[in-house]
Structure 1
Amino acid sequence: MVIGCHAAIGVSNFKRIIMRKIKFSKDEGSEFYKELNEQIRNYFDSNQMDKTGNKKMIFKIVLYFTLVFLFYFLMLTSSNLGAFFVFYIGLGISVLLNAFNVSHDAAHGVAVKSKFWNKLLFQLSFNLQGNNAYVWGKNHNESHHLYTNIEGSDIDVLNNPLVRMTPNQDLQWYHRFQYLYVPFLYLFYSLNWFLFREFLMIFNRSSRTIKIMIPAWEVIKLIFFKIAYITYMIIIPSIILPFEWEYVLIAFLLNHFLVSLIFTGVLGVSHLSDYVAHPQPDSKGKLTMSWPKLQMCTSVDYNVTSTFLNWTLGGFNAHALHHLLPNICHIHYIKLLPIFRAVAKKYGVTYMEMSYTQALRSHFRFLKKMGTQVEFKPATYEI
């Protein structure tokens, strides 16, 4: 059976994504998900709250957009090279925090109540990074969220010859060293995204395991915003500031290196862990588990009760909760965690949560195991 309307709606929207569609089975995860939704609905009803962002979220939106414009102004008015580098890096981090806290929830339509403002916030905050909102929105909502960690269905599962991510990918001799060289590759994550990832998708040359057909209008927007990004991040500072253009380029690269490390450090540990599964459907496209159970066995959460991380990472550290409840703003996650844990325990569904240090260690164990083991079996998570 196809589990629930969440999956069914997503499949019906796959008009421009060429991928393998999956059918899910019914198991304890199905009842878990049903009761979870009931209890979450009761929580919001009894507290007379909306699932979307509240006044605190509005403050965060204003705060992170203000930081972006403030650091850009300070960068363009820098009087010395040291201050320029500090403000440039501050701008990059502010843009990333904006993406974590605003873009992501807006993409799911839950940053604010208004559909119009959610769409505008998502488009504005994403396109101004030099990346295409349409492409990422399709990838994230209609592929990654539905078919997490399933090769050929989840677009975030790469078939990169340098990094072995799933047991189905060929094991090469150099993969035994991938846990050592992958951190260096992570430095180039955002630059690769900006310079190559979306362009390669246009020509179907991407290492992604599924293909996306990008509409002509979105290709035009993609090129326009990349040119705009280069203009205000490199060309304008080079013209206005009394520094050699080489320093602007160095700041640009350092900014992307740092942003890439933070981004991969935040997200990589959630789905690339030696605790998570990479399930594969049978020849008929059927998976031997429900959609909710898939989300629970492919996501690792860390420091989920941390107010600081909820404010800075926009709930990305509570990935399993987000995947099951994408229609809820991250501002509510900490309050919902007791319900989430209790219902999971009631139905015997494993919820993998740990400290960030443990999650990071698990991530590197995963890279090492995938580089040496032909057959990979996830480690048993113990509460």
Structure 2
Amino acid sequence: MQYQKIKFSNREKSTFFPVLRQRVDQYFSANDICKSGGSGILYKAIFMLSLYLIPYSLIMSGAFSNLAMFALTVVMGLGVAGVGMSVMHDAIHGSLATSKILNKILGGSIYLLGGNAYNWEVQHNRLHHTYTNIHEVDEDITGKFLLRLSYQEKQKYIHRFQHIYAFFLYSLMTISFLWKDFKEISLFNKMSESGMTKPFPRKELIRLVISKLAYVVFICVIPLYFLPITFGQWFSGFLAMHCTAGIILSTVFQMAHVVEGVEQPEPDTSGNIENAWAVHQLQTTSNFAGKNRILSWYIGGLDYQIEHHLFPSISHVHYHALSPIVKATAAEFGYDYNAKKDFINALGSHVRMLRSMGTEVRINKPELQPA
């Protein structure tokens, strides 16, 4: 398909973000704190990386039974998800630390998960964060295998059952990194014709191939060579790790944009979105922050997705404090602040959206339901 440059063109709504940004800057100035994560997030990064690498080391010691090693792969999955949400995510956004070098190093933790830093930066930082919930451009809701996550996606008969099987497919998210990153080469090249991305650099292609080979050696070749296990035993552990990570990561990300009350705007024939970028983020994103601060800590503050989408260069450790400022400013300008009461309510809302998209043929804006 031919991609079209998309522009946000409603200047009347553009006054919201300057006011909000000024208030957020004032918060940091008044409290004399830095917008990065500070030393606390570095300890958190060490913990999350340890949650992934220590079980790997214990498995490689060969001192445990097969059942214990399988359990350790599940713990590794928790570590994969923790690194993805709390370390890699902030680092590639440049918000984990004030040091660009440290952000680059910790952003490289995505290679330990089987992903690729350049692809994530383009697909997530540039496309998803700019063109949130816009069909064909935001890959998070477009072209998913057996899933209809956009009302503009063609409906198929099997979609009416997607609320039943979706979470199984979600569990395959991090496994899909192994081939999806290669598919995105042609996607980015096509998008570059409209100026939305740059052509895929040759040096990044080399890095992509080398990093994938290194991951296969780390996660497959070394265990099979040094441990007295069969391929079937290794594969069951590999699936346990990735499926644990995949279902956590996918569910958390989907509950930000595929829930009741969010919009899926369509550009006009000229590629215009009749909205300001910041207001677009408000209307296409939802929070599910509740009182569970442990959950919020583990998932890298992604229960505050509205704050993250408005201020991706600010570390997630500050989103809880920024939330009242964003909510009050949105209300002042007459905009909804879509926040589900907690994780369970958001999960229920997502399941209802999956069911609605599976049965609704018409292009339809979902109505906001009580949390």
Q: Would you call these one fold, judging by a TM-score over 0.5?
A: yes
Q: In structure 1, which of residues 189, 211, 219 is the aligned counterpart of residue 173 of structure 2?
A: 189
Q: In 2, distance between residues paired with 1:137 and 1:315?
A: 19
Deviation at 1:304, TM superposition (A): 4.8
Deviation at 1:191, TM superposition (A): 1.6
Deviates more, 1:165-174 or 1:349-358: 165-174
Note if contact 2:163-2:354 (Cα within 8 Å) is conserved in structure 1.
Answer: yes
Helix, strand or coil at the partner of 1:113: coil
Q: Which residue of structure 1 lines up, in the alignment, with residue 367 of structure 2?
A: 379
Q: In 1, distance between residues paired with 2:249 and 2:145?
A: 22
Matched, 1:177 2:161: yes
Q: In 2, distance between residues paired with 1:168 and 1:267?
A: 20
- 1:42-121 alignment runs, 5 A limit: 42-77=26-61, 78-121=63-106
Q: Which residue of structure 1 lines up, in the alignment, with residue 272 of structure 2?
A: 286
C-alpha RMSD over aligned residues: 2.4
| Aligned amino acid, residue 365 of structure 2 | K
Deviation at 1:232, TM superposition (A): 1.6
Q: Which residue of structure 2 lines up, in the alignment, with residue 6 of structure 1?
A: none
Deviates more, 1:36-45 or 1:339-348: 339-348
**Offset from partner CA, 1:27-85 (integer Å, 9 cap, x none):** 44x33322211111111111111101112112112222233332221121132112211
Give the gaps of 5 or more residues in structure 2: none
Q: In structure 2, which of residues 194, 201, 210 is the aligned counterpart of residue 224 of structure 1?
A: 210
Deviates more, 1:366-375 or 1:180-189: 180-189
Matched, 1:330 2:313: no
Note if contact 2:133-2:257 (Cα within 8 Å) is conserved in structure 1.
Answer: yes
Q: In 1, distance between residues paired with 2:144 and 2:95?
A: 33
**Offset from partner CA, 1:96-138 (integer Å, 9 cap, x none):** 2011111111111110111111112102x01222211101111
Note if contact 2:115-2:174 (Cα within 8 Å) is conserved in structure 1.
Answer: no
Q: Which residue of structure 2 lines up, in the alignment, with residue 236 of structure 1?
A: 222
- 1:1-383 alignment runs, 5 A limit: 20-28=5-13, 30-77=14-61, 78-123=63-108, 125-160=109-144, 162-194=146-178, 196-204=179-187, 213-304=199-290, 306-354=292-340, 355-375=342-362, 376-381=364-369
C-alpha change, 1:211 and 1:170, in structure 2 (3 Å) is farther
C-alpha change, 1:64 and 1:222, in structure 2 (3 Å) is same
Helix, strand or coil at the partner of 1:282: coil
**Offset from partner CA, 1:272-297 (integer Å, 9 cap, x none):** 12321110111122212211111111
Helix, strand or coil at the partner of 1:371: helix
Q: In 2, distance between residues paired with 1:254 and 1:60?
A: 24
Deviation at 1:172, TM superposition (A): 2.3
Deviation at 1:26, TM superposition (A): 2.7
Deviates more, 1:355-364 or 1:314-323: 355-364
Note if contact 1:310-1:331 (Cα within 8 Å) is conserved in structure 2.
Answer: no
Q: In 1, distance between residues paired with 2:92 and 2:290?
A: 22
Note if contact 1:20-1:152 (Cα within 8 Å) is conserved in structure 2.
Answer: no
| Aligned amino acid, residue 90 of structure 1 | V
Note if contact 2:188-2:199 (Cα within 8 Å) is conserved in structure 1.
Answer: no
**Offset from partner CA, 1:353-373 (integer Å, 9 cap, x none):** 111112111111111111221
| Aligned amino acid, residue 366 of structure 2 | P
TM norm structure 2:
0.91
Q: In 1, distance between residues paired with 2:92 and 2:252?
A: 19
TM norm structure 1:
0.88
Note if contact 2:122-2:197 (Cα within 8 Å) is conserved in structure 1.
Answer: no
C-alpha change, 1:305 and 1:145, in structure 2 (3 Å) is farther
Deviation at 1:161, TM superposition (A): 6.1
Note if contact 1:158-1:165 (Cα within 8 Å) is conserved in structure 2.
Answer: yes
C-alpha change, 1:199 and 1:289, in structure 2 (3 Å) is same
C-alpha change, 1:159 and 1:66, in structure 2 (3 Å) is closer
Q: In 2, distance between residues paired with 1:51 and 1:275?
A: 30
| Aligned amino acid, residue 260 of structure 1 | G
| Aligned amino acid, residue 64 of structure 1 | M
| Aligned amino acid, residue 26 of structure 1 | R
Q: Which residue of structure 2 lines up, in the alignment, with residue 7 of structure 1?
A: none
Helix, strand or coil at the partner of 2:175: helix
Q: In 1, distance between residues paired with 2:350 and 2:42?
A: 34
| Aligned amino acid, residue 39 of structure 1 | R
Note if contact 1:19-1:211 (Cα within 8 Å) is conserved in structure 2.
Answer: no
